[in-house]
Structure 1
Amino acid sequence: MNNLSWLQPQDSNEVSTEVQELQHEAREYLANSKSSNTKRAYGSDWKQFEEWCASHAFASLPAEPDTLVYYITMLGKTKKASTIKRKMATVSQRHETAGYKSPTKTPLVRGVWEGLQRKIGIKEEGREAIWLYELRQVIKELPHGKLIGVRNRALLVIGWAGALRRSELVGLHIEDISKTRDGLIIHLNQSKTDQKGEGHDVALPFGSNPLTCPVRSFEDWISAAGITEGPVFRRIDRHENVMGGLTAQSVRLIVKKCCEEVGLDPKRYGAHSLRSGFCSQAARAGKAEHQIMKQTRHKRSDSLQRYIKKANLFEDNAASGIGL
């Protein structure tokens, strides 16, 4: 049974053509209720659960609470808490969509899940933040006079100043950017926290340092590359020909390589380092939480707190000024 089966009529002859058309449209809306990345992850998670259940002669739908307990106990040997939580959410969604009670909500599963989290920990291991001084170091080492250096500078600065996710960077088109007397305005048509396409406008003011000015870096890149429409950030071949748009994976690799060039451990940095770097730097500079959230588009303040806490570790620290 798939997660759209409840919209499938038992006998198409029992309903009118109009209702059948409405069912078809409703199924399309249900299919679009999650992002493509989320659907891929959920689909993979469910397939793994089905296969595990089959290999142990357990029913997967509906699954008994005991079955899920054994499954998450097995996962706890190798997986992080966040991964297990997502897999549990997949099982829960499948059951509820199919009209069954979710086993994840039973006291047994909740109790085992609590104990498992205590054992393996729930700390999220994110990428290191790229602070502003590190961003300047990276940009200084970019190959000057080469198109790839101009592109990478614009990619890094705009990604950092706009606190953009890699999917937002690769989805950025010239048509989404407008210039004003105060700087650039980027219109994000859709993002991780805006799957319905409401859109967000992100302002990038002129920078006081030409090296890290978002406006100058953007204008230098589109002028050098001759881009007048379509994707802003694009691939470049070894002959400096400008190709199609970058992929999200390409952004991750570019950030890692640029960090490695200045001696930063590439294993600790990635595309998210730009976004977390902005959050951390803004917090240390004393920017209010609501100001940071306006730029980052965070929906909840608790998602932002880990950056703020880390940035302020040395602020009013008890070990400072006591004669060490």
Structure 2
Amino acid sequence: MGELDDYLQAADRETTVRSYAAAIKHFEQDWKGLLPATSDTVARYLVAYASTHKVSTLRQRLAALARWHAEQGFADPTKTPLVRKVLRGIVAKHPSKQKQARPLELDQLQKISEWLQAAQRAARERGDEAALLQLTRNRSIVLFGFWRAFRSDEIVNMRVENVTAIAGKGLTCRLDRSKADRAMEGRTFHCPALSRLCPVDAYLEWIAVSGRLAGPVYCGIDQWGHMSDRPMHPTSLIPLLRKMFHDAGVESAEGYSSHSLRRGFAGWARASGWDIKEMMEYVGWRDMESALRYLDAPTAGLQERFESGL
């Protein structure tokens, strides 16, 4: 039975397991709901948080309840007409626009990279090894995250033993698991070496400074310069990037997140003449809808295009 549980647990991503467990805890302990639940109970649960929770959060809670009932052998109360109608009513009464992270522009990436390089030089001069490690790691994260358009979980799941990097040529990375890899077959990604803002050079510099031979590429580093054996948590990238951007002088740094790197690359690629098919293949988007969420409609020259038709 132990081996069976191990395989069942391996079928789910760690973040999914944690979020579903938190949702069930919220239903039982915070709202005092009883399991197994009825459709009426689930409907009242949705109504209780309709004005304070995002619809996406409510959908996630429903998914967790559906999973619990299926695993325990009970009928799923979340799929009844009553629950579906209540959810539609919440969507209609509390519409919410999906908040998107600001895309990181290329000139901002240049500014951040230059600030990090200056800070690295200063850390070397004063012999601050801890700061040098953090700054070198951070520059590699922001450059690789931008040019490879990785999600936060893909960045932190990189492992040294699965990366091959050659200066002046490129970098190849195999990820055993990622959000987009539903079949859990693993995927191999490539990233070219560039004449400036090079992610390959930044990666090789990080490996040289850190001396990492195996394990997670991007690990936690404490104030004394001790590197963790565990990878950084995906959610830790948002405050890390925002602080980095703020320190580098980027305006409204609080509006950026790890998705800003992905959206920034998508905007740069589109402006550089990439077609959607090329971008989908490089980034790993599964469908056109996923790709278009990262692309802003171009507004440059909009008035001229209108006038030309008049």
Q: Normalised by the shorter chain, which TM-score bucket? A: 0.7 to 0.9
Q: Which residue of 2 aligns with 1:313?
A: 298
Q: Distance in 1 between matches of 2:228 and 2:72?
A: 42
Paired amino acid for 2:161: E
1:155 aligned residue (141, 144, 155): 141
Q: Which residue of 2 aligns with 1:13?
A: none
Q: Which residue of 1 aligns with 2:228?
A: 244
How many aligned positions are there?
292
Distance 1:316 1:89, change over 3 A: farther
Q: Which residue of 2 aligns with 1:258?
A: 244
- Indicate the larger mover: 123-132 or 198-207: 123-132
Select the structure of larger CA radius of gyration.
1
Q: Distance in 1 between matches of 2:87 and 2:101?
A: 26
Paired amino acid for 1:90: A
1:289 and 2:289 are equivalent in the alignment: no
Q: How far apart are 1:179 and its partner, in Å?
A: 3.0
1:168 aligned residue (122, 130, 154): 154
1:225 and 2:203 are equivalent in the alignment: no
2:16 aligned residue (11, 15, 38): 38
Q: Provide the aligned C-alpha RMSD in A.
A: 2.6
Q: How far apart are 1:92 and its partner, in Å?
A: 1.6
Query: Do the aligned partners of 1:82 and 1:124 also contact (CA within 8 Å) in 2?
Result: no
Q: Distance in 1 between matches of 2:135 and 2:10?
A: 38
Structure 1 residue ranges without an equivalent (≥5): 1-22
Q: How far apart are 1:226 and its partner, in Å?
A: 3.1
1:136-147 alignment runs, 5 A limit: 136-142=110-116, 143-145=119-121, 146=123, 147=132
Q: Which residue of 2 aligns with 1:60?
A: 35
Q: How far apart are 1:236 and its partner, in Å?
A: 4.7
Structure 2 residue ranges without an equivalent (≥5): 124-131
Q: Distance in 2 between matches of 1:192 and 1:68?
A: 28
Q: How far apart are 1:128 and its partner, in Å?
A: 1.6
Q: How far apart are 1:199 and its partner, in Å?
A: 1.4
Distance 1:319 1:77, change over 3 A: farther
Q: Which residue of 2 aligns with 1:194?
A: 181
Distance 1:279 1:97, change over 3 A: same
Query: Tell me, what secondary structure is at the counterpart of 1:192?
Result: coil
Distance 1:68 1:257, change over 3 A: same
Paired amino acid for 2:106: L
Q: How far apart are 1:156 and its partner, in Å?
A: 0.8
Q: How far apart are 1:299 and its partner, in Å?
A: 2.6
Paired amino acid for 2:158: L
Q: How far apart are 1:132 and its partner, in Å?
A: 1.6
Q: Which residue of 2 aligns with 1:18?
A: none
Q: Which residue of 2 aligns with 1:28?
A: 6
Q: How far apart are 1:53 and its partner, in Å?
A: 5.8
TM-score (norm 1): 0.80
Paired amino acid for 2:38: E
Q: How far apart are 1:39 and its partner, in Å?
A: 0.9
- Indicate the larger mover: 259-268 or 104-113: 259-268
| Deviations, residues 37-76 of structure 1 (Å, cap 9, x unaligned) | 1111111111221235646xxx431x22221111111111
Query: Do the aligned partners of 1:35 and 1:195 also contact (CA within 8 Å) in 2?
Result: no
1:121 aligned residue (82, 95, 103): 95
Paired amino acid for 1:244: S
Q: Which residue of 2 aligns with 1:47?
A: 25
Q: Distance in 1 between matches of 2:112 and 2:300?
A: 27
